[in-house]
Amino acid sequence: MKRMLGRLSLPLTLLTPARRGLLICALLSLAMLAAGGQATAARPTPVSLIEADKVVASTPTQEFDAGVFKGTVGTVPVSGTTLMEVSVVGQTFHCVHSWVEADGSVLVIHSDCNAITLNGQWRVVYGDGIFANFFAQGSLVMDLDSYVLDGVSY
């Protein structure tokens, strides 16, 4: 027994419910592609921050710095105080920056920097208050008493 499907004549056994569902899904997928439906992601928010520190304590493999930070997240200005713990492993500085905004909001950043080239990478690992649900990453450049962090949110 044959069944007519448009101009196509197919045996009835080829049109089982599972195969029919697969055919419908395939046709819908092709229709979506043909329609040119394309998802767009939100544009990343630029982040630009500067941290200025002074050494407050140190050991041969660790250093503790305190200072201030300021910058912008998108178009929002931020500023406050910072504490930084630096661990030295070989020629790499591993840093944990704990920033406290004027309203008490906390932002914690981890960074890894090359001791020779004085550049590195950073990423946000925690935030609360105005920094809640804020995650960003980027590159940084160190000089003698400050860090310039540029990147984007994600």
Mean pLDDT of the chain: 82
Compute φ and ψ for 116, nearest 5 degrees.
-90, -50
Mean pLDDT of 146-152: 89
Q: What is residue 43's predicted lDDT score, i.e. its pLDDT?
A: 78
> Looking at the DSSP assignment, which residues form a beta bridge with residue 123?
110, 137
Three-state DSSP class for 141? strand
Q: How confident is the model at residue 125 (pLDDT cuts 50, 70, 90)?
A: very high
Q: Where are the chain's structural domains?
A: 2-35, 46-153
Segments in the chain forming alpha helices (H): 17-35
Q: How confident is the model at residue 109 (pLDDT cuts 50, 70, 90)?
A: very high
Residue scoring higher pLDDT (15 or 44)? 44
pLDDT exceeds 60 at position 3: no
Q: Topology of 46-153 in CATH? A: AOC barrel-like (2.40.350)
* pTM of the shown model: 0.70
Task: Please enumerate in sequence order all residues whose Cβ is within 8 A of that of 73, keeping only pairs 6 or more positions apart, or say none.
Answer: 45, 47, 134, 136, 153
Task: Please enumerate in sequence order all residues whose Cβ is within 8 A of that of 94, keeping only pairs 6 or more positions apart, or say none.
Answer: 86, 87, 88, 110, 111, 112
Mean pLDDT of 3-7: 55
User: How many whole angstroms from its chain centre is CA 140?
Assistant: 15
